[in-house]
Structure 1
Amino acid sequence: MKILDSAVTGYGAPVTLSLETPGSAATRVVDAVLRDLATTEHRGVVVDSPPGAGKSTLVVRAAGVLAATGESLMIVAQTNEQVDDLIARLGVASPTLSVGRLSAVDYAATDRVRSHPSCRVGAKVAELGGPPVTIGTAAKWATVTEGTWPWAIVDEAYQMRSDALLRVAPRFDRALFVGDPGQLDPFSTVEVDRWTGLSWDPMQSAVAVLLRHNPQLPVHRLPVSWRLPASAAPVVAAAFYPFTGFRSGTGPADRSLAFTSSATSDLDAVLDVAAATGWGLHELPARFTVRTDAEAAAACALIAARALSRGAVAVSEAGEAPLTADRIAIGAAHRDQVAAIRAFLPDHAKDITVDTANRLQGREYDLTVVLHPLSGRRDATAFHLESGRLCVLTSRHRHACVVVARAGIAELLDAHPSTEPVHLGVPVKFPDGWEANQSMLAHLSQSRP
């Protein structure tokens, strides 16, 4: 493989740039993953993926390859939304492949599940008729006490707690683990300090514990994001993936976002900057506020609504299409902030998606508006500093992202370095939330109107 140049991230880690086309680079890694599935003697194969690199596409393709061997396969996803999405994708890719959907007793099949021509739904494995592929959430698989499958595919494996993996591990012989290491870690609503430092800490991700106990497992990294545009991939990679990096599957001229009406306000001005550069920062005056900052919530809602009103047109490798409400999202850290933003949406913009980072994870839009987790705060807590939260919020877009924040976040970070205790036996996590936030702020400071 020819080497073109070497770039250096903010952490001093070299990132090798290749002359390979994005498609060739991605194909090379996917082929290596499929080859490992067919030949490896290890019990697991791990695939790390940046945002929008085609995790679901890989899962669907791997499922087809493994099912073609004549052996049954189980797929473990983390949410019902992910399960239904995978079933719909399997229906398109392999419509003749029978799929069993493990579900709760009161589950009502969605349109995506019903669209699969060969999908059967059941609350128990015995009700599914022994299909080549059985798919369900990790929570549902944990209730299965009989039967084994030669292979399992664990989707969004970095969202899965290690104790959840322990509960389903007896059901399979080998597994493919696919996930994004830069996004949100598993979380719990109970105190977990008693397990901190243990190699099997249930609050670590399934992949983290798996690799600590099995460091010899093959690990592949998808090198291309097909979602993030050329304006976003290097920014997100430097902030949240400092040691692995990735690149965009498109070039600077491949995508554009243009408004059919001219700017008439400050909100329009930040949208124009975002459309031209991929990023926009709408900065409010510095002030300490309550969590549901009404001024910031209103700004998020009105920016998104104004983008809808101005008749934007998105052009990409997929063609040309108007910017509709279902292609716009607003993200925030807390549910009460989400409720406040929704309340400010005008009637014509009520269909715009507004949700927390946890629920936006895995989803994709043309334009996103983000309420910065540290906006208006007096302190920088571990929750608000978590790099995965900001990573999710700033990596959902195909064209542009507008960040709404009060001035003073950089000073807040400088005044509140991390005070979290250092525990023996706990691997150091990179990127550090402090550094990731500073990296993003440095770029956003160039994106003011």
Structure 2
Amino acid sequence: MTQTMESPGTEATRIVDAVLDDLATSGHRGIVVDSPPGAGKSTLVVRAAGVLAATGTPLMIVAQTNEQVDDLIERLGDKHPGLGVGRLSAVDYAATERVRAHPSCRVGAKVPDLGGAPVTIGTAAKWATVTDGTWPWAIVDEAYQMRSDALLRVAPRFERALFVGDPGQLDPFSTVEVDRWTGLSWDPMQSAVAVLLRHNPELPVHRLPVSWRLPASAAPVVAKAFYPFTGFRSGTGPSDRSLSFSTVAASAIDEVLDTAAASGWGLHELPARFTVRTDAEAAAACALIATRALARDGVSHSEAGTRPLTADRIAIGAAHRDQVAAIRAFLPPQAQDITVDTANRLQGREYDLTVVLHPLSGRRDATAFHLESGRLCVLTSRHRHACVVVAREGIADLLDAHPSTEPVHLGVPVKFPDGWEANQAMLAHLAALPRSG
């Protein structure tokens, strides 16, 4: 008997309905929703907020950055314009255009200033300053970016919570030494979800099964490298999206762009060499690839329609801020609107074409920072059509010469995926592509 596979839309709807059903009927104090890149986390948060608010239940929403807060307010305004929203903010906060556009949003530094809005939203840092009042429900957005100590500080404010996040993205980080807490079940450097589930293993966990951002050429590659035990699929098929350029290839840079347009991936390799972190040749290559893509009058075709490949639809990602500054310095005036940023700041954003400076390019060693699977996952999962990786030759040899040597600590869960394996998986796919340079 042939088993018919559900369509991506049907499968995604079934999981979202199960989440909403748990919100209405589950007796658990927490519900966790894991999501791959571009699976509709924010859409779920907005929909869940509407469902909970419709019951007359006051709701608090916790996000991790002001950018995420304003994005959610904009989305709430689009989907639920009549729903009153209170935006908790700093005293000197100036409302952005997205917040001002919400027809029913009120901004204030304290909860009483918000006039009893049905939905109160703010960053985790701002919520930590609230010492009075409780809400029957909370929604924690990007929960895997939230440190466990931040959750501890806001937990007294709610009775039940929905935690939504991407387990494959960057882990919480700190600029201070944290070894003293290693191995403790409440280690503040673990994500809020990790600590929550260690202490409450019975909580229901749902997994969104479809990425609506990543094309069919990217979803299997990213899933294998960074989500080996859960997996996901693309919401579009191999022929649903395409990227084309109007000019004929005239250089190695054009060839790698054509390869990326045809296969979804491109690899531009520079000669093997140990370099300083701000490798000028690699930075220039990243800027040149993005600028050339803009100059070739690219056009993207997808379920969203046909549109030109403009500068605001191209991004360049790197691991360090000084690399970002070096790349930006190489962009000509006509390409200044191309986004250039670190993996941390690119989380949650999407583009038609991305150019990635590989974190291990030109390095003598493979440190824990540069091997972190979440960093490469973010960099290689921002695109709707194609991703070009820029790297010096020899990364595979570097990985073989520097196997993972992180110490094993009692009481510390083994992290999956392992950064070493994730890098090898991604490199294996890129190595099969036609070379340029």
1:180 pairs with 2:146: no
TM-score normalized by the length of structure 2? 0.99
**Residue 388 (structure 2) aligned to one of 392, 397, 402:** 402
Query: Using the alignment, how far apart are the partners of 1:437 and 1:359 within structure 2?
Result: 21
Query: Using the alignment, how far apart are the partners of 2:311 and 2:100 within structure 1?
Result: 25
Change beyond 3 A, Cα 1:3–1:363:
farther
* Deviation string, structure 1 residues 98-118 (Cα, Å, up to 9, x no partner): 000000111111111111100
1:262 pairs with 2:248: yes
* Deviation string, structure 1 residues 376-405 (Cα, Å, up to 9, x no partner): 000000000000000000000000000000
Query: Using the alignment, how far apart are the partners of 2:168 and 2:303 within structure 1?
Result: 26
Letter in 2 for 1:394: T
**Alpha carbons 1:77, 1:137 under 8 Å: kept:** yes
Letter in 1 for 2:329: A
Letter in 1 for 2:49: A
Aligned to 1:447: 433
| Structure 1 segment 197-212 matched on structure 2, within 5 A | 197-212=183-198
* Deviation string, structure 1 residues 274-311 (Cα, Å, up to 9, x no partner): 00000000000000000000000000001000000000
Letter in 1 for 2:344: N
Percent sequence identity over aligned pairs: 86
Q: CA deviation at 1:447?
A: 2.0
* Deviation string, structure 1 residues 389-438 (Cα, Å, up to 9, x no partner): 00000000000000000000000000001121110000001100000000
TM-score normalized by the length of structure 1? 0.96
Aligned to 1:385: 371
Query: Using the alignment, how far apart are the partners of 1:443 and 1:370 within structure 2?
Result: 15
Query: Using the alignment, how far apart are the partners of 2:103 and 2:433 within structure 1?
Result: 47
Query: Using the alignment, how far apart are the partners of 2:216 and 2:87 within structure 1?
Result: 38
Change beyond 3 A, Cα 1:161–1:3:
farther
Letter in 2 for 1:44: G
Aligned to 1:277: 263
**Alpha carbons 1:282, 1:448 under 8 Å: kept:** no
Aligned to 2:74: 88
Query: Using the alignment, how far apart are the partners of 1:273 and 1:446 within structure 2?
Result: 12
1:318 pairs with 2:299: no
1:422 pairs with 2:408: yes
* Deviation string, structure 1 residues 58-102 (Cα, Å, up to 9, x no partner): 000000000001010000000000000000000000000000000
| Structure 1 segment 337-352 matched on structure 2, within 5 A | 337-352=323-338
| Structure 1 segment 87-126 matched on structure 2, within 5 A | 87-126=73-112
**Residue 232 (structure 1) aligned to one of 193, 196, 218:** 218
**Alpha carbons 1:147, 1:171 under 8 Å: kept:** yes
Letter in 1 for 2:180: R
Aligned to 2:53: 67
Query: How many residues are paired up?
Result: 435
**Residue 128 (structure 1) aligned to one of 94, 108, 114:** 114
**Alpha carbons 1:78, 1:156 under 8 Å: kept:** yes
Aligned to 1:332: 318
Aligned to 1:244: 230
Letter in 1 for 2:109: A
Aligned Cα RMSD in Å? 0.8
**Alpha carbons 1:257, 1:313 under 8 Å: kept:** yes
**Alpha carbons 1:3, 1:19 under 8 Å: kept:** no
Aligned to 1:163: 149
Aligned to 1:45: 31
Query: Using the alignment, how far apart are the partners of 1:70 and 1:197 within structure 2?
Result: 42
* Unaligned ranges ≥5, structure 2: none
